Amino acid sequence: MLSSPLNRRAALGTLSLSAVLALAPRLAAAQSPVVDAAAGQPFSVEGLRDKARALAAAPYAKPPAPPTITGLSYDDYFRIRFRPEADLWKDRQPPFRAEFFPPAWLYPRPLPIHEVADGLARPIAFDPAMFEIPGEHADVAKAWTGFSGFRLLWPLNEADKLDEIAVFQGASYFRALGRGQRYGLSARGLAIGAGEPNEEFPDFVAFWLERPPGGGPAADGDAVVVHALMDSPSCAGAYSFTIRPGDNVTFDVAASVFPRAAMTKTGVAAMSSMFLFNVADPSPVPDYRTAVHDSDGLAIWTGKGEHVWRPLQNPKAHRLSRFPDENPKGFGLVQRARALEDFGDLQARYDLRPSLWVEPLDAWGEGAVHLAELATTKETDDNIAVFWRPKAPWTAGSQVDLRYRLHWGQERFASPDARVFRTRTGADAQAGLRLFTVDLQGGALAEGLDGVAMDLQAAGGEIAWRDLSPYPDEAAARVAFGVRPQATDIDLSLRLTRGGQVISETWRYLWTA
């Protein structure tokens, strides 16, 4: 049995906090945070790897319990604002700024954060005066001793206004978004046993922010570099993120992981999202909206070039699915529903949530993309997890180097062939059938349906009937079919062909009784 869905929105806290902080007024120029120049130490990526290697060579030491900070509710915490006059790099014109989060509510553990400039790392001094705290809770700051995380700002949407582009806070979680979007899904440095009992959550235990060059107008392609030291009972690691904002925000990730013990349940390039319901999976609770989800499908571009689309579901019981592959070209959680009326929610604006695509920059060998779907009745639960798990275990004492690129924003690397844009399900109780419609659009469907055939498979069921019809949109078609269940699970797959050539992505769906 899998673990219950974690309230990762509460554990991360960055969505609401970021939205509140974005409303903070941009105040007049003032001093940046104090950086302890006397405490500068040489910094390099190789030196960070050495720290991680040494950490992994020693027994895991659980961090001391942080001080208990009471007196703040959820709403109280999100009323605390970082003072913009204390922004890091505000004296450099433009492009980037950094702001910090207080150690309170779900984030009581302070983390050392450094600035790196001219090859030297200097700790950023903590000062409670950097925060604007509601008067009735001003005394809570007396217990604060450091920052719990940070966010990066850049003029993403308007040339004269700074917008949040990324947040690092909580375990090894981070998130970003593209131009014109709102926060949704998140990523993490490493997942261990994700979606299973006793899941392990590695922590980023220290950060180093490289000072970006100043001068000149902000432009797509600007970059800021963040380094992190990771630790957990199973491993330690050194991570470097080169972050480039634009229409899509990209993270080039370079990591070296040092296992303390054999690791068989590693999750590389892991991401978490939320799927509550849509037209194919009715709401588990009464709801006025058409759909509620941050992502609606898992997309995979396999090593052999096949494009796979798996619609997400909110199952009645937790489940794990795996998609074996070798040297995948990419995978990610995608939000294809992009119209406001797909959701009917004027506040959450799920139509503006980013997709996240993983592009391996090395050959990853054999393994599988894993999808965990956890049952939930709350849209505050991130009940979806996706990651790559290598086939070969990571051995104790080894060094595992990883390189990949994360694309946050609109869907990337989609199939050039016909793509699925909607799945619907139903039942014919009298005939004992499950009913499905799959709508596809684009690619060779622009040429009509002459000669188009359906490659439809149903492992665990018998296909009773099938139909292919033009859909009343340009270059679109609907496949409808009925399946008689012969098992509690039916693994369905569909693709369109013409003249023996595949002309669509592969639709995959798991129906569970």
Asked if the model's pLDDT at residue 67 lies above 80, the reply is no
Q: How many CB atoms are located within 10 Å of the residue 249 CB?
A: 23
User: Which tens digits make up the pLDDT trace of 387-410?
Assistant: 999 999 999 999 999 999 999 999
Looking at residue 475, the DSSP 8-state letter turns out to be T
User: Which tens digits make up the pLDDT trace of 130-187?
Assistant: 999 887 777 778 788 899 999 999 999 999 899 999 999 999 999 999 999 999 999 9
Nearest to 107 by CA among 137, 150, 139: 150
For the chain, first and last CA: distance in Å?
Answer: 17
- Label residue 71 by pLDDT band (50, 70, 90): low
* DSSP output for 158-178: ETTEEEEEEEEESTTEEEE--
Strand partners, 334: 297
pLDDT of residue 358: 98
How many residues would you count in the chain? 513
pLDDT of residue 69: 61
User: Which tens digits make up the pLDDT trace of 82-98?
Assistant: 999 999 999 887 789 99
Q: What is the mean pLDDT of residues 27-52?
A: 73
Beta carbons of 221 and 243 less than 8 angstroms apart? no
Task: Tell me the chain's radius of gyration from C-alpha atoms.
Answer: 24
Pick the CATH number of 8-409 from 2.70.98.10, 2.40.50.140, 3.20.110.20, 3.40.50.2300: 2.70.98.10
pLDDT of residue 219: 86
Domain boundaries, the chain: 8-409, 419-512
- The H-or-E segment that residue 10 falls in is helix 8-12
Q: Which residue has the higher pLDDT, 10 or 378?
A: 378
Asked if the model's pLDDT at residue 1 lies above 60, the reply is no
Looking at residue 193, the DSSP 8-state letter turns out to be S
- Label residue 415 by pLDDT band (50, 70, 90): confident
Rounded to two decimals, the pTM is 0.92
User: Which tens digits make up the pLDDT trace of 225-261?
Assistant: 999 999 999 999 999 999 999 999 999 999 999 999 9
pLDDT of residue 17: 32
* Pairing relationship of beta strands 461-470 and 476-485 according to DSSP bridges: antiparallel
Q: What is the mean pLDDT of residues 279-288?
A: 92
pLDDT of residue 8: 43
Asked if the model's pLDDT at residue 25 lies above 80, the reply is no
Backbone phi, psi, residue 396, to 5°:
-60, 140
- How far apart CA 110 and CA 126 sit, in angstroms, is 10
| Cα–Cα separations (whole angstroms), residue 313 to 292, 297, 338, 468 | 11, 9, 18, 24
* Pairing relationship of beta strands 433-441 and 203-210 according to DSSP bridges: unpaired
Q: What is the mean pLDDT of residues 284-296?
A: 96
- % of the chain residues with pLDDT over 90: 78
Tell the CATH superfamily of the 419-512 domain: Immunoglobulins (2.60.40.10)
* DSSP output for 308-365: EEEE----SS-EEEEEEEES-SEEEEE----SGGGTT-TTT-GGGPPEEEEEESS---
Nearest to 424 by CA among 298, 311, 279, 277: 279
- Label residue 74 by pLDDT band (50, 70, 90): confident
pLDDT of residue 16: 32
- % of the chain residues with pLDDT over 70: 91
User: Which tens digits make up the pLDDT trace of 436-487?
Assistant: 999 999 999 999 999 999 999 999 999 999 999 999 878 999 999 999 999 9
pLDDT of residue 34: 56
- How far apart CA 99 and CA 247 sit, in angstroms, is 22
